[in-house]
Amino acid sequence: MVGKVFVFMMVMTRITTFFLVVPIFGSGNIPANMKIAATVMLSIFFSIMNPQAAAPGISGTEHGGAIQAIILLGGEAAYGLALGAIANIIFSAVKLGGSIMEDQMGLSMAEIIDPMSEGRGTPLASLLDILFIMAFLAANGHHLLIRVIQKSYELFPAGKIPTAASLAGNILEATSVMLVAGLRLAAPILAALLVLLVVLAILSRVVPEMEIFFISFPLRILLGFIIVVALVPFLNEFVGEAAKLMARILPL
């Protein structure tokens, strides 16, 4: 009985730490009682549905004492945090792309309160992030996050976790993927604004009396918003790419 309770504690530790940092579920907008209820229900479900998690000999209270129990729980917490952090890093690609767009449009000084992170954010990056999350949920992306937990127990039952080198390697891979995806998202605006700057440079030579400096700001903002509006429908494709990346990298 004690062993089963300890196995449940390990399962709940991994799931709780995963939900602390994973996108959507880790947001402060979701009430704490709902998070607790979802965590407990999923912990009970995975404890029952994964017989590997109840393998004999894992119980720290029966075999290794309090120290081994703390080590096992700490390992589960670290693994859950790593899973959630990688998912969060992949989601950050949209916000990174939005930040690059705003810098090129000259809107980097604008700030709002980001409703998802409850911290300071920029308007365009926060808008794209919200639209991406809505598209992700509409495509049943939250099922993918639960599937990540399921696969983590198929590969690493309670009491077993990947090596530290594996965790660090996958976090670095997710970071590189996030940077590339963010640049790809912002690439149309980067290309369009580069062409605009070339055109303005030619106009400054042809018509020297034209105030290019004052004309360039509204033109960059207008062109940037036109491209952003054109890019919004393609966020669904970006959701599919993010899902494939998460399925490839997660679980570790």
Residues 90-136 have pLDDT tens digits of 888 888 888 888 888 887 777 777 666 666 777 888 888 888 888 88
Predicted structure pTM score: 0.80
Task: Reply yes or no on whether the pLDDT at 87 is more than 70.
Answer: yes
pLDDT in tens, 139-158: 888 888 888 888 888 888 88
Q: Is 26 helix (H, G, I), strand (E, B) or coil?
A: coil
Residue of 67 and 192 predicted with greater confidence: 192
Q: What does the pLDDT read at residue 177?
A: 87
Quick one: pLDDT at residue 252? 61
- Please give the Cα distance from 29 to 20 (Å, whole number): 13
Considering the chain, what is the average pLDDT of its residues?
A: 82
Token pair 């604004």 is at which residue? 193
Using one digit for the tens of pLDDT, what is the confidence trace for 168-206? 888 888 899 889 988 988 899 999 999 988 888 888 888
How far is it, in rounded angstroms, from Cα 242 to Cα 34? 26
- If one compares 223 and 106, the residue with the highest pLDDT of the two is 223
Query: Is the pLDDT higher at 195 or at 62?
Result: 195
Token pair 């029952």 is at which residue?
Answer: 48
Is the pLDDT assigned to residue 34 strictly greater than 60? Answer: yes
Share of the chain above pLDDT 90, in %: 4
pLDDT of residue 60: 44
The pLDDT score that the predictor gives to residue 115 is 64
For residue 10, give the 3-state DSSP assignment.
Answer: helix
Domain boundary assignment for the chain: 2-249
User: Phi first, then psi: what are they for 81, rounded to 5°?
Assistant: -65, -40
Of the candidates 171, 207, 16, 188, the residue with the CA atom closest to the CA atom of residue 82 = 171
Q: Choose between 120 and 88: higher pLDDT.
A: 88
Which residue, among 135, 147, 88, 99, has the nearest Cα to 238 in the 3D structure? 135
Q: Any idea how long the chain is?
A: 252
